[in-house]
Structures are given as structure tokens and as C-alpha cells.
Amino acid sequence: MREDADFIYEQVEKHHEWFKKSLPMIASENIISPMARELLISDFHDRYAEGSPGDRYYQGNIFVDEVELKAQELASDLFGAEYADVRPISGTNANQAVLMGLGGPGKKITAVDVSDGAHISSAKFGSVGFRGMEPITYPFNVEEMNIDVEGTKKMIKEEKPDIALFGRSVYMFPPPLEELRDAFEEAGCYVWYDAAHVLGLIAGGEFQDPLREGVEVMTGSTHKTLPGPQRGILLSNPRDEEMKQKLFYGVFPGVLSNHHLHTMAALAVSLAEHQEFGKEYAKQIIKNAKALGQALHERDIDVMCSHKGFTESHTLAIDVQEEGGGETLVEAMEEANMIANKNLMPWDDVNSAKEPSGIRLGAQELTRLGMKESHMDEVGEFIKRIVKDDEDPEKVKADVIEFRNDFQEIHYCYKEGLPAHERFSFLDKYD
């Protein structure tokens, strides 16, 4: 019914207005550029392109093929990858493709434990378990918020996994890939890196370079520190042609059919933008994350790894068990227009995911809005007023809205060019 459609439009408009007045700090989100966003309503949305450029199961892909080839080229250049597959439609979908191609029932995989910050797709109750694999978790150093090098070396050499996976959703510091290289070689395993959270930092040269540090396949979602559309990517310097083919078929027909062509086009533009602006953007993200960590630390909030400068990425992990726990506090922050998420800490049981000890914060979207280090001190004060002072969220909200008024423009992307309705004649039908 028409009133139902109108209701949906109203809710989306309310969402837009709310986020324009909020401080978005969820570490797995970002804002797509205006130029990339326009492609999401193109006719690409309505079409199918199973297969690969020049080898499709449908006609009508002449121009789609050109866009996909350009996206592959941009991705290969940006990450120094021999093979780039831009077909996955999410980070988890890219992970599923690797598991389909290289994993399988009965095979061994080593990974970070979910309580230590891993993504759920690497858990037994996620994609790894769905493929019939049993994850063996790395020993973890809580003080360093990273895997234990010597314990992990020993484990890999003893277990001889088929795949060694590195990647986390609370990704503060680079895993010690170089230190583990001899263990990988002795085990003969595939080395896989889930870069979902740090993909843009890697592309900007500000985290680590996994494909130069012993990693053979890297996956990621393209909408976190890489500020593109919600989509996935698979990158590899494969050891041989057999591995390359396994990865290719792991994507299609392994885990997807059509690969959402409108978001693929938006990804291609986002990759081009990141080639130009990514290094500056990545540097500022990390500066802001460190500054926010310092601001919170100075306000007596327990930010993990203060002895290491809090983080080397966009992410901060905050222990708030003494202040009431993650769930209670992120709800209060939301009432004050600060959007964050509760998160498991290493000492939490995975079954307590709904009521964890921690909060995870990300600086990438605040940075995308043009904020710098000095602004992080103000953000830290807003958070402190909720977490430590138990102040009325409505009062804090008013100050957050006033502060956010100065940050309405998206940075680190193309701004020049024609307005959308002049650039694309196809947008006329949406007038």
C-alpha cells in the first residue's frame, strides 16, 4: 500500500537527519563519496553478469565488463596484488570464497579467538564451521592485544594447519607475520589475511603490507577504513595457477551468482579516489584514533594498551566493566547521538556477547567528516560525560548536535565535476 511505502521513506529520512547530527564511531562503517553514491542508482543495479569479463553467462555486459576490468586493475595497483577479484558482495562473502576454494571438511585452520577480537566468520559457529572445519585458536597476549608470537610459532609447527588465518574485528595492531614466516613455511599452509577493518590503512601504506610479508591471499570488506560501498574484495599473489583457479571458482560459482554491479561500479570509483587521497586519509585516521585514546585516558577511562599508544589503526578498545558494561553504556551514548558498539573483551566468554565488558570505537568516519586531533579531545569529553559522569544523555546530545554542525562535508574524495543530474542523463527518470 502507498502509505506503507511513504512510511518507509519517512524512516529513511529520519535516519539521515539523525546521522547528520551524530558522531558515528562504529569501527566497521564509513561514508561513501557522493561520486560513488550516484552509481548505486544506475541501470547497473538491474542487470546480471555471472562469470567474468569476456566470459559471461548473460548478454548485455559490454560496458559492465569494462568497469569490472578497471576495478580489477585499480585494486591490483593499489594493493600490489597479482590477482584481484572484485566480485564478492561483502567481506564475509569473500571469506566464504576462500574457504570454498582452499578449505573444506576435515581441514585444519588456525585463527584468532572471537573473544580476542576475531570476526564471527572465522569461528566454528560462522563460515569456518559451516565448511566443516574446526578452528584452532592462537595463544593471545591480552596486555599487548595481539597474538603471542612464540606460542603461535609452536602451535603452527605442531598442528600443521591447512590454512593459517589472521584478521580481527578489534584490529589495533598488526599481527607478527614476519616473525611467523618460518613456521608457515615448515607447515606448508596457506596464509590468509582478513583485512576487512584495515584495508584502507594497508592501501594507504600506514599499517602493514601483508602480501609482502608472507600472506598469499587477502580478503576484506570495502566500507570501513576503505570508504567505499558495502562490498567485498579478494586479493592474492597465488603460489601457483592451481591456487588461483581455486580462488576464482571459490567466488563463482562457489558462493555467489550475480555480483551486484551497481556497487561494483561504486567500488571502482572508491578505489580510484583512494589512490589519490588514501595515504593522507590513512595517516589522519591513525592520528585521530591515537588522539581519541589519549583524550579518554586523560579522563580516567580504561583504554586498552596505553603503554603502546593505544592503537596503530582506527580502532580503540575500552574496558567499561567498572562503569556498567558495554551494553548499558552504548545505549546511553546512542541517546546522546554518539553511535558506537559494545564488544567482547579477551576475558569475556563468547556467550556473553550481548553483555560484554567493552566498547569498540573507530575514528575513520569522524576523520572522513574532516575532524582532526584537536577535535578528538572534544569527542573524548562527550564520551566521558556519559561513561564517567553519568550525565543526562539529552543534555550531552544538545552539545553533540552543536559540535557536529561544523562537520557536514565528506573529505578525501572527488568534489569537482558536474552535478549528478547533469553528469548522468539516466538520473532524469528519478526526478
Contacts with 309 (C-beta within 8 Å, 6 or more apart), sequence order: 290, 293
Q: Which of 27, 118, 31, 29 is nearest to 360 (CA)?
A: 27
Q: Which of 169, 212, 170 is nearest to 191 (CA)?
A: 212
Give the per-residue pLDDT at 246: 97
Confidence of residue 134 (pLDDT cuts 50, 70, 90): confident
pLDDT digits (tens, 9 = 90+) for 8-36: 999 999 999 999 999 999 999 999 999 99
Identify whether 175 is preceded by a cis peptide bond (ω within 30 of 0). no
> Which stretches within 224-260 are classed as H helix?
241-251
3-state class (DSSP) for residue 164: strand
Strand order in the sheet with 358-362: 302-303, 315-319, 358-362, 341-343
> Which stretches within 103-240 are classed as H helix?
127-130, 149-159, 177-187, 199-203
pTM of the shown model: 0.94
Q: CA-CA distance, 391 to 336, in Å (whole number)?
A: 10
> Cell triple for residue 346?
579477551
Confidence of residue 123 (pLDDT cuts 50, 70, 90): confident
> Cell triple for residue 383?
564520551
Contacts with 381 (C-beta within 8 Å, 6 or more apart), sequence order: 295, 299
List, in order of start, the domains of the chain with CATH numbers.
34-273 (3.40.640.10)
Residue 219, strand partner residues: 194, 234
Least confident segment among 65-69, 116-120, 293-297, 310-314:
116-120
**C-beta contacts of 181-189 below 8 A and 24+ residues apart:** 181/213, 181/214, 182/153, 183/152, 183/153, 183/156, 183/157, 184/156, 184/214, 186/156, 186/157, 187/156, 187/157, 187/159, 187/160, 187/161, 188/160, 189/156, 189/160, 189/161, 189/162, 189/163, 189/164
Q: CA-CA distance, 27 to 169, in Å (whole number)?
A: 8
Contacts with 65 (C-beta within 8 Å, 6 or more apart), sequence order: 49, 53, 54, 56
Alpha carbon 261 to chain centroid distance? 20
Q: Angle formed by the axes of helices 261-298 and 373-387, to 10°?
A: 70
pLDDT digits (tens, 9 = 90+) for 250-286: 999 999 999 999 999 999 999 999 999 999 999 999 9
Confidence of residue 219 (pLDDT cuts 50, 70, 90): very high
Give the per-residue pLDDT at 424: 67
φ, ψ dihedrals at 176, nearest 5°? -80, 70
**Contact present, 214 and 187 (Cβ < 8 Å):** no
Q: CA-CA distance, 175 to 190, in Å (whole number)?
A: 16
> Which stretches within 255-392 are classed as H helix?
261-298, 326-335, 364-368, 373-387
> Would you give the end-to-end CA distance of the chain in angstroms?
22
Q: Check the CA dihedral 257-262-266-269 and report its sign.
A: positive
pLDDT digits (tens, 9 = 90+) for 292-347: 999 999 999 999 999 999 999 999 999 999 999 889 999 999 999 999 999 888 88
Q: Angle formed by the axes of helices 62-79 and 261-298, to 10°?
A: 30
Q: Would you say residue 419 has pLDDT above 60? A: no
3-state class (DSSP) for residue 342: strand
Residue 218, strand partner residues: 193, 235
> Cell triple for residue 155?
602451535
pLDDT digits (tens, 9 = 90+) for 351-391: 666 789 899 999 999 999 999 999 999 999 999 999 999 99
